Amino acid sequence: MSLLHLAWCYFRSRALLAMSALAIALGVAVLFAVLAVVNGFLAQVESTIRDFSGDAVVAAIPERLAPEAELQDYLDALEAVEGLESQQPRLNYYGLIGRRGARAIDDPRTTDLSGLLLVGLDRLPEGMKRLQADPQLEAVAFGPEEVPPGAILVGKVLAAKAGVGVGDSLMVISFKRGSQGYPVPVQTSFRVEAVFTTGRYDHDIDRAIVRREDLALMIGDGLGFNEIGLRGRPGLAPEQLADRAEAALLAAGLKQKGWPMLVSTWRAQGGNFLRAVENQKGILSAVFFCIVLVAAYQLVATLALTVTEKRRDIGVLGALGAAPGRIVTFFVSLGLVIAAVGSALGLLIGTWLTANLEWVQDRIFGERIFNAETYIFDHVPVAVDWSSVLILLGATLGAALVFSFLPAWLAARLNIVDALRR
Amino acid sequence: MSDSAAAPAVLQALDLHKTYFMGGAELRVLRGASMELRAGEVAALRGASGSGKSTLLHLLGLLDRLDEGEVAFNGRPTRRLSQSARARLRASTIGFVFQQFQLLPELSALENVLVPRRLACGMSWFRRRGLERANARALLGTVGLSDRLGHRPGQLSGGEQQRVAIARALISRPAALLADEPTGSLDRKAGAEVLELLLELAQENHTAVLLTTHDPEIAARCSRVLHLEEGRVRQE
C-alpha cells in the first residue's frame, strides 16, 4: 500500500480522472502520429535521395562534361578512399519526350512535350523498382545489372504521361552544340526496357535512365561524365565520405584538373528541402504539444475538484500521520498516474493510428488526404523515432507534475479538523 | 486499575485553552483543561453536547493547534513541534477511532489498516511491507474480519467498518488511542461488541485509551470517568 497505489485506487474509482487521462491520451496519440508521419516523410526523402544519388557526389562545376579520358584517374583516386563501397560515373542531360500518338516531336506546333532528366549510367542504381506487367503485383527491385544498349528506363508517372509501356519505342529529343555554338535539336529513338518507380513522385515524373554511351552519342560531345556517385560502407557518415573523397582528389591533384570538381553529400544536395521539412516538423511538434499541454493543464481543475470532494479523506490521511509533504506527494502522484495512463493509452492509440493511417483516411475522410502529386509519395510514410517519443512522454509527465502541484499544495494546506468534520 | 495508576503518564494535557471565532462571536471552548492518561488506562470523557469533547480530543491528538497550554507525550512537549514532526508523532504514537469510521472508501479493509504503517515507515516500507501485511492480516483476524480482507468499506456493515477502524488505530501499537464516540453510529449490540473489542485490544497492547461518550453504560466500563464542564476537566 504505497501512496502511488492509493493514487491508482483513486484513479480507478473516479470517471472524472479517467476523462482527464483520455484527454491527455488523445493529445499524445495525435502528436505521436504526426511525429511518425513527419519522421517517415523525412526518412523516405532521405532514403530515396540517397538511393538514387549515392551517399556523396563528385560533380563537375559548372555542369560541364568531363572527358572520359580523365575518368579512370578520378576512379583510381577515389578507389583508395577508406570506407568506399562503390562508385559510378553519371552523365546527366536534359531532354524532351512527346506523348504517344501526338504529332511528330519535331513539329514546332506540337504542345505535347514533357521535359525530363536523362540520366546516363553504366549500371542501374539501387533503390529503384521495376513495375510488373500486372499492375496488381508489387514492383520488384532491379538486380545489379548494366543498362542495355539502346534501352530507356522510364519513371512510372512519366511513362503514364507519355502513354508508353515496356517494349514501346520512345522518341527523345535533346540538343547538341552546333558548329556555330548554337544548340541543335537531335532526336533518338529508344526502346522502353522497363518502367521503374523510386517511391518519389517528383523522381518518377521526370527521370529516364539510358546507357551513358548512348546519351554521349546523342549529345555528340563524346563519352564523358559530369558526376561520380559514391556509396560508403554501412555506418560511414556521408559527410565523412565526402571529406575523404575531397582529400583524395586534392592529394591526386584532380580537384582542379580540367574542370573543377565539387564533392557534396546527398544531404547537402537536398539541403533546403530537408531543412524545410525539419522546420515543419519542429513547428508541428510545438503546435501539437500545446494540445498535450492544454490536456495536462485541465489536471489543475480535475485535481482541484478532487481535493474539494475528498476533503474528508485528506483529513483522515492527516490524522493518521500524513505530513503536508506527503499530501502534496499523494496528489502529485495522482496527477502522474493520470498522465502516465493517458500517455500509455495515447501511445497505443497513436501506434494503431500510424499502422492504419490509410484505413483511417478512407473511413474518416472518404479519400486519401495524402496524394502523391502533393506529398511526393504515393503512400503515407511512417517511422517512429523512439527518442522523440521518450521526450514527448517525459515532457507530458513533466507538465503533469507542474500542473498537479497547485491542487496538491491546496490539499496540504487544509485544516485536518475542518476536513474531518465534512 | 492499580497497574495503570502506577504506570507513567503517556499523555499529559496542561491548562489547555481554545477559542473559536464564529461570525464575529468569541466561543471559548476550553478554559484551562488539564488531564493525564497512563499506559493501559481506559478513561471515558463525558460532557454535554457542545461542551468541547471533540475539541479536546483533537488537541490531544495534535490535529489542531492550542491557543495556550501544553500537550506532552511520554513527557515530551509538542507545542513547538513543526507540522511534520506532529504528523510523525501522530503516526507513531497516537491511534484514532472516529464515530463515522472514516475509512478510505477506495481501499480494501486490509489496505485501510496498512495506511498508518505506510505513513509511519517512510522508505523502510519497501523493506518491511511483507511483515506489515502479515501483521495487518493477523490484526484483522483478531477483530473477526479475516474473511473480509479484500472488501471495501461500502461492502461492510457499520460494525465491521468500526472493527477495521479499530485495527487501523492499533496497527502501529500506539501509546495512546483517542476514540470519539466509537459506538455512536452503531446499534446497541454492535456497539457493545465493538467496545468490548476495543477495550480488550487496548489492554493487550497496554495502550492508554480516552473515549468520548454520552452513554453511562459505556462510561461505567472504563477505569476512570472524566467530565468536561465549562471548558475544564473534572474527574468523577
CB proximity B152 to A under 8 Å: no
Q: Among A56-65, A71-80, A303-312, B224-233, which stretch is predicted with the lowest mean pLDDT?
A: A56-65
pLDDT at A284 over 50: yes
In a domain, B187, yes or no: yes
CA distance B12 to chain A (A): 19
Residue B37 predicted with pLDDT over 90 = yes
Mean pLDDT score across all residues of chain A: 84
Mutate to test the interface with A, among B106, B113, B149, B161 (most CBs of A within 10 A): B106
Q: Please, what is the angle between helix A3-13 and helix B109-121, to 10°? A: 140
On whether residue B77 sits in a domain, the answer given is: no
pLDDT in the model for residue B67: 93
Taking 70 as the threshold, does the pLDDT of residue A378 lie above it? no
- pLDDT at residue B185 above 90? no
Confidence check: pLDDT of B139 > 80: yes
**CATH code, B126:** 3.40.50.300
Q: What range defines the domain where residue B177 resides?
A: 40-62+82-235
Give the closest-approach CA distance of B192 to chain A in angstroms.
25
pLDDT tens readout for residues B62-101: 999 999 999 999 999 999 999 999 999 999 899 999 988 9
CB contact under 8 Å between A324 and B83, yes or no, is: yes
Q: Which of B63, B84, B103 sits opposite A319 (nearest CB)?
A: B63
- Among the partner-chain residues A312, A313, A323, the one whose CB lies closest to the CB of B88 is A323
Answer yes or no: is B2 within a domain. no
Residue B31 within a domain: no
Hey, how many other C-beta atoms are within 10 angstroms of the C-beta on B183?
25
How many structural domains compose chain B?
Answer: 1
pLDDT at A63: 58
What string of DSSP letters covers chain B?
Answer: -HHHHHSPEEEEEEEEEEEEEETTEEEEEEEEEEEEEETT-EEEEE--TTSSHHHHHHHHTTSS--SEEEEEETTEE-TT--HHHHHHHHHHHEEEE-TT----TTS-HHHHHHHHHHHHHGGGHHHHHHHHHHHHHHHHHHTT-TT-TT--GGGS-HHHHHHHHHHHHHTT--SEEEEESTTTTS-HHHHHHHHHHHHHHHHHHT-EEEEE-S-HHHHHTSSEEEEEETTEEEE-
CA distance B179 to chain A (A): 12
- Nearest by CB: A323 against B84, B102, B115: B84
Q: Indicate yes or no: CB of B119 within 8 angstroms of CB of A321.
A: yes
User: What ipTM was estimated for this complex?
Assistant: 0.91
pLDDT of residue A258: 55
- For residues A114-120, average pLDDT: 88
- Structure confidence at residue A11 (pLDDT): 84
Is A325–B92 a contact, with Cβ atoms under 8 angstroms apart?
no
Of B96, B98, B118, the CB nearest to A1: B118
Q: Look at residue B44 and tell me if it is in a domain.
A: yes
* A373 or A79, which is more confident: A79
pLDDT at B205: 84
State whether A1 and B119 contact (CB < 8 Å).
no
The answer to whether residue B202 is domain-embedded is yes
Over residues A129-153, the mean pLDDT reads 81
The residues spanned by each domain of chain A are 3-47+273-421, 62-259
Asked whether the predicted pLDDT for residue A347 surpasses 90, the reply is: yes
pLDDT on residue B110: 95
Which pLDDT tens digit goes with each residue over A81-98?
999 988 889 898 888 887
Q: Which of B111, B115, B125 sits opposite A320 (nearest CB)?
A: B115
Is residue A151's pLDDT more than 50? yes
Query: Residues of A with CB below 8 A from B167's CB?
Result: none
Residue B10 falls within a domain, yes or no? no
Contact A420 B61 (CB under 8 A): no
pLDDT-derived band at A1 (thresholds 50, 70, 90) equals low
- Looking at residue A162, its pLDDT comes to 84
- Mean pLDDT computed over every residue of chain B: 89
